[in-house]
Amino acid sequence: MQKTDQSYLNFLEKPDFADILTNPILDIAARFWETDRYDAFKVCYRSMRIIDDLVDDQKAGGHQLTLDEKKQLEHIIVSWTDNFSKGNRTDDFQTALLDIKDTFQIPLWPWVRLSKAMIYDLYNDDFKSFLTFLRYSEGAAISPASIFMHLIGVSKNDSGYSVPVYNIRTAARHLALFSYIVHIIRDFQKDQLAGLNYYALNQLEICSVQKDELRNVAEGGVISCNVRNLLGEYYKFASYYRKQARKTIDSILPLLEPRYQLSLEIIYSLYNQIYKRIDTKNGIFSESELLPTAEEVKSQIDMTIAAFNEKK
């Protein structure tokens, strides 16, 4: 299509972002979608947040769950997943979610893997190794990203929707891991103050860092060279997945309609904005340092849209 005909880019008359610039980045990106897909995304994302928050809200603040409490929460998660897997319409929300799953032909495994990750969370306060963290991320990060990748890849036809022509897990993996690791560095202060630790024990050992040192830094204490080395290692991990994510995005963009191409560019751009704020040599890793303001997020969105429009 020639650049003089911009009708296919009408979605660039973007929604008013004034009230949602502090929302999750996936939600911001999905605002460019058609209404039915965006509504489907909201319900799917909410279902995953419910499972995730069920565990995180209990552990935040250092609350120590008893074994009975852990088993009770595990039973809730397993029961929900089992009912969902069997198509049991236990309430209005479950009914809406199942309808969306069926309409858009979304596979079941993202919810199953997320549930396994949250059960891991219940019984573990740490990750023994970075490999353990990556396995956990299959559910905690790659699962929701895969649903996003599924919804941008389905094709509408007379009989409904056809599944994406690419493997959604492969398409989601690198971008999800880049986003998740950047997210962990960005939320270093908030997570540590809430008693949550996402830094693998073997990485702490390699860098000669004790867990209480991380809490001390989050509280404004002196940042040792060892802590900087630890965060520097995670920055390297983020750098690797950032490069891989760019390659993956470029490979699937030709398979997508423009509005869905843009939504991927928005995700990459907004996490890249945070990535560029990370200063492992001189930064203090505070929330105010690493979290862009609403005005900065809006500016980044505007620049991404302008660059995207220029390419078209």
The mean predicted confidence, pLDDT, of the chain is 90
Confidence of residue 44 (pLDDT cuts 50, 70, 90): very high
Domains, the chain, ordered by start: 26-311 (1.10.600.10)
* pLDDT of 89 higher than 70: yes
Residue 78 confidence class, pLDDT cut points 50, 70, 90 = very high
**Which 3 state secondary structure label does DSSP give 155?**
strand
Q: Is residue 38 within 8 Å of 91, Cβ to Cβ?
A: no
pLDDT tens-place string over residues 275-299: 999 999 999 999 999 999 989 999 9
For 134, other C-beta atoms within 10 Å of its C-beta total: 17
Confidence of residue 158 (pLDDT cuts 50, 70, 90): confident
Mean predicted confidence (pLDDT) in 176-203: 95
**Selection from 261, 232, 264, 259 nearest residue 245 by Cα:** 264
Of all residues in the chain, what percent carry a pLDDT higher than 90? 81
Q: How confident is the model at residue 54 (pLDDT cuts 50, 70, 90)?
A: confident
pLDDT tens digit sequence for 1-23? 223 334 334 444 455 544 444 56
